[in-house]
Amino acid sequence: MKYAEITWPEVGVTVTAELDERNADLAQGLWDALPYRSLQGHALVAGHHLYHVAPIHSLLHLPAPYRVDRRTVPDGTVFCSRLQHLGIKYGELTEPMPATPIGRVVPEDTDALVAAGHAVWDAVYTTKRPVIAEVRRKGEPGGHSLPRLHASDPAVDGLIGDLHAETERIWLQAPPELVDLHEGRIPSRAGSFETVMTTLLFVNGETRPLGYSCYGGLVRAALDGMPLDSLRQMARLMAATPAEFLGYCGLGTLWAFTRRVLDSLDRVGDHEDFVALMAHMALYVNCLGGWNLHLFPWQAGDHLRRVTDPLDATTATTATTAAATATGGGGAEKPTKPTKPTKAGKSGRAGAGKPGRTGAGKAAGRAGAAHSPTTLPTSSPDDPIAREPA
């Protein structure tokens, strides 16, 4: 049997997980990569679930035939996914999805796991104090390294080296560009009416599928035998637009790397080099996504809470209908025309109050589409590894 330790020094918790044979290739891929460290994240939609980006390129494509409904398995179940996540369920999950287990936290450590889960949730949702997870073989020293793939073409290999170095630089320390963005320092002045939350929302919605679907999908397509010319074309079609938008929003380094990748595609001479380049882009973007989820000011919406009593939901629906009727025979109220912002910052924001909310609705619609599970890898007979909870 293989036993791994997962420790969170910032919260003083260590648990032991027993790896099993249900998805032996995935479990072996994790075992071979140990030890490593990573920023610990927490599910923001699905419930009581911890996950972090694991620096393991092979997670993007390793076979995993055994699937379960994540909601039904015991607390402490450990998963790996094609989103390069190591995840651990520690309580109720609401999102229905197939998942690929690789082991389980030993029963005597489940209380400690719950304590770690609550501490990480507090860090992600409120305090923003990074919590670092270390995963190691039980009884062996810890440590950390990021794997580096290679390409036969010297220029492509040099680009991979630069990507590897940048990913290492930001792996355990928040990327300065993301810190600036979340603190409102946006050189392009992105953010209508001086808003920041709107830009953060769109950055979040574009970054996740860029790593999960675009670059992770390109790796799998290459390994499935898609012709190289088709892979080049798909990379150009899928990567350029979201990366350019993210560059405008403040992620200039990502956009610069994307341009270099697209410019180098004609130098990529075989599938192996293509996989190496796309795998490093996937890990880099997924790392950015993890930091973005950590830094995002989720607590700003703390006043919005899910309705848990069906009677409350009925009351809310009745009130909404009555309000709509009062505005003009049941029709929806027409949005007001945006007012011109004044020079004074506060009065300008106040003057734009109603149109700001109207604009935010549209923004939320677009971001919601970008954040939809349909843009992420889903499970099918040919793609058996499902995603982690959001």
Q: Using 50, 70 and 90 to split pLDDT, how confident is the model at 97?
A: confident
* pLDDT (average), residues 307-320: 60
How far, in Å, CA of 150 to CA of 280, rounded?
Answer: 10
HSE-up of 324 (CA within 13 Å, CB side)? Answer: 9
Q: Find tokens 């012709």 and name the residue.
A: 227
Percent of the chain exceeding pLDDT 90 equals 78
Alpha carbon distance 163, 157 (integer Å) = 10
What does the buried/exposed string (b/e) look like for 145-161 if buried means 16 or more CB atoms within 10 Å of the residue's CB? ebebbebebeebbebbe
* Percentage of the residues of the chain whose pLDDT score is greater than 70: 79
Please name the residue that has the structure tokens 């990529």: 268
pLDDT band at 308 (very low <50, low <70, confident <90, very high): confident
Q: Is 32 left (phi over 0), alpha (psi -120 to 50) or beta?
A: alpha
Cα(281)–Cα(163) distance, rounded to whole angstroms?
7
Q: Is the pLDDT of residue 283 over 70?
A: yes
Q: How confident is the model at residue 356, as a pLDDT?
A: 39
Which of 175-179, 218-222, 246-250, 375-379 is predicted least confidently? 375-379
Does 194 score more than 70 pLDDT?
A: yes
Asked whether residue 384 carries a pLDDT value surpassing 50, the answer given is: no
Question: What is the CA 236 to chain-centroid distance, rounded?
Answer: 22
> What is the rounded CA–CA span in Å between residue 384 and residue 99?
8
DSSP classification of residue 99: E
Calpha distance 304→81 (Å, rounded): 31
What's 212's DSSP letter? I
Length of the chain: 390
Give the model's pLDDT for residue 313.
54
* DSSP character at residue 341: P
Q: How far apart are CA 184 and CA 196, in angstroms?
A: 6
Of the candidate ranges 175-184, 236-245, 308-317, 349-358, the one whose mean pLDDT is the lowest: 349-358
pLDDT value at residue 190: 97
User: What is the C-alpha to C-alpha distance for residues 216 and 60, in angstroms, rounded to an integer?
Assistant: 6
Instruction: Say if residues 54 and 16 touch (Cβ distance below 8 Å).
Output: no
CA angle (171, 89, 24) in 5-degree steps: 80
| Structure-model confidence comparison of residues 372 and 256, the more confident one | 256
Q: Is the pLDDT of residue 370 over 90?
A: no
Element containing residue 282 per DSSP (H, E)? helix 271-295
Task: Indicate if the pLDDT at residue 296 is higher than 60.
Answer: yes
User: How sure is the predictor about 388, in pLDDT bands with cuts at 50, 70 and 90?
Assistant: low
Binned at pLDDT 50, 70 and 90, residue 354 comes out as: very low
Strand partners, 5: 16, 136
Contact yes or no for 178/198 (Cβ under 8 A): no
